[in-house]
Amino acid sequence: MGNNKLYQWKMIALDKEFERTESNFPELKAGEVLVKIAGCGVCHTDISFWHHGVTTKHALPLTLGHEISGTVIEGPENLIGKNVIIPAVLPCGNCDLCINGRSNICQSQLMPGNDFHGGFASHIVVPHKYLCLVPNSILKKYSLEQLSVIADAISTPYQVMKKSELVKGDLAIVIGVGGVGVYGALIAKIMGAKVLAIDINDEKLSQVKSNGIDAALNSKGLDIKEIKTKVREIAKELGASKYGWKIFEFSGTAAGQDLAFNLITYTSTLSIVGFTMNKLEVRLSNLMAFDAKLIGTWGCKPELYPEVVELIATGKLEIKDFVQTFPMSKINEVFKNTLEHKYDKRSVLVPDFYKN
């Protein structure tokens, strides 16, 4: 698709010459707030919209960005001045899916940067029903912009870990420990699993190992058979069962998904988290033969966000080593470098040119 044109469309909301005045802000509707953005993380989904031809629900032009933290400056009096995380998935709260605990896949959901203008801007208007409040205590250790990654990079793997029914002592195999997968590995460890991280980047693997992950395997240049043999050896070394592996595919690549499917063994659960437009050929009968489960996951239901905040507030989950911030005026450069896999940490764009 014409990604240069999309850059121009995005940059309409990011123009350096734009001055903030009340007339620039739309009038709030019932149930909405105006949030001054502290930071907005750059997600693979944004890159897919920009570069890979994935279609947004809202017609272009559209400001991207769905991993947002900020401060409420207009809206109900009890919310003004509150620091918040904006969930990447904003459900309706009333449909059958919401009522039955599946609000993350609500068919009336709204997603910033997809259904309406998102977070690569100075301010955003959003529904306030599911805003996640940020306690002041957590801001003694982290800046509000760093916490924007809760909105997707941390909450998404948190939901999938719970959905996979991961329990203490399980072997959790995390494929792809980039900006989202790294949190999946850390959360699995917090939940008591024995964690094996698989990637093709030694720096990323070294980083997760230094943060307490049990084992790491660089799969670059290895065929499926060699990888399976090494995984079995590592499972044995860790004292993990050779059955019931919990496998999490975060890489969002066909190669990663193919590897993940091939690692299925008896009573395994394979969770697909990463996104790719590529297809692969698999033998679904393996699921039958191994009495295994294959599950998908979409975002995170807002009800779980306070649990994620609590993990960080109590120091169980450390995030500083995995977040890097850039001025939002560098958005073009950051998108390009993200596409070229030049970053080992989650990038967060911070507004730097609006007058306060």
Residue 355 inside a domain? The answer is no
Is the domain of 146 the same as that of 166? Answer: no
- For residues 82-99, average pLDDT: 97
Residue keyed to tokens 């989650």: 346
Which secondary structure element, helix H or strand E, spans residue 198, and what is its range? strand 194-199
Is the domain of 276 the same as that of 307? Answer: no
Last residue of a domain, one of 278, 296, 314: 296
pLDDT tens per residue across span 96-126: 999 999 999 999 999 999 999 999 999 999 9
In this structure, are strands 346-350 and 323-327 parallel, antiparallel, or unpaired?
A: parallel
Residue 356 inside a domain? The answer is no
- 85: domain CATH number is 3.90.180.10
pLDDT tens per residue across span 248-300: 999 999 999 999 999 999 999 999 999 888 999 999 999 999 999 999 999 99
First to last CA, the chain: 36
pLDDT tens per residue across span 144-200: 999 999 999 999 999 999 999 999 999 999 999 998 999 999 999 999 999 999 999
pLDDT tens per residue across span 132-144: 999 999 999 999 9
Is the domain of 204 the same as that of 259? Answer: yes
Phi/psi for 127 (5° steps) reads -65, 145
For residue 21, pLDDT beyond 80: no
Contacts of 168 (CB under 8 A, 6+ apart): 191, 192, 193
Query: Bridge partners of 326?
Result: 349
Look at residue 67 and give its three-state secondary structure.
strand
pLDDT grade for 354, boundaries at 50, 70 and 90: low
Is the domain of 167 the same as that of 106? Answer: no
Return the higher-pLDDT residue of 283 and 16: 283
Last residue of a domain, one of 273, 296, 319: 296
Is the domain of 230 the same as that of 245? Answer: yes
Is the domain of 147 the same as that of 261? Answer: no
Which amino acid, one-letter code, is at 126? Answer: V
* Residue 200 structure tokens: 């093709």
Is the domain of 95 the same as that of 45? Answer: yes
Is the domain of 23 the same as that of 147? Answer: yes
Is the domain of 218 the same as that of 134? Answer: no
Residue 313 inside a domain? The answer is yes
Per the CB < 8 A criterion, the answer to whether 120 and 40 are in contact is: yes
Per the CB < 8 A criterion, the answer to whether 271 and 198 are in contact is: no
Please state, for a pLDDT cut of 70, what percent of the chain lies above it: 92
Which amino acid, one-letter code, is at 183? Answer: Y
Could you give the C-alpha distances from 229 to 80, 219, 225, 226, in angstroms and in order? Answer: 56, 12, 6, 5
pLDDT at position 353: 63
Is the domain of 103 the same as that of 161? Answer: no
Last residue of a domain, one of 296, 314, 336: 296
Query: Could you list the residue range(s) of the whole structural domain that residue 117 is in?
Result: 3-152+301-350
Residue 11 inside a domain? The answer is yes
Per the CB < 8 A criterion, the answer to whether 309 and 134 are in contact is: yes
Looking at the structure of the chain, the number of domains it has is: 2
Could you give the C-alpha distances from 247 to 175, 185, 194, 220, 265, in angstroms and in order? Answer: 8, 11, 12, 18, 10
- 212: domain CATH number is 3.40.50.720
For residue 316, pLDDT beyond 80: yes
Is the domain of 13 the same as that of 140? Answer: yes
Per the CB < 8 A criterion, the answer to whether 301 and 104 are in contact is: yes
Residue 234 inside a domain? The answer is yes
Which amino acid, one-letter code, is at 8? Answer: Q
Q: How far is residue 128's CA from residue 29's CA, in Å, rounded to a whole number? A: 11
Is the domain of 146 the same as that of 186? Answer: no
Which amino acid, one-letter code, is at 36? Answer: K
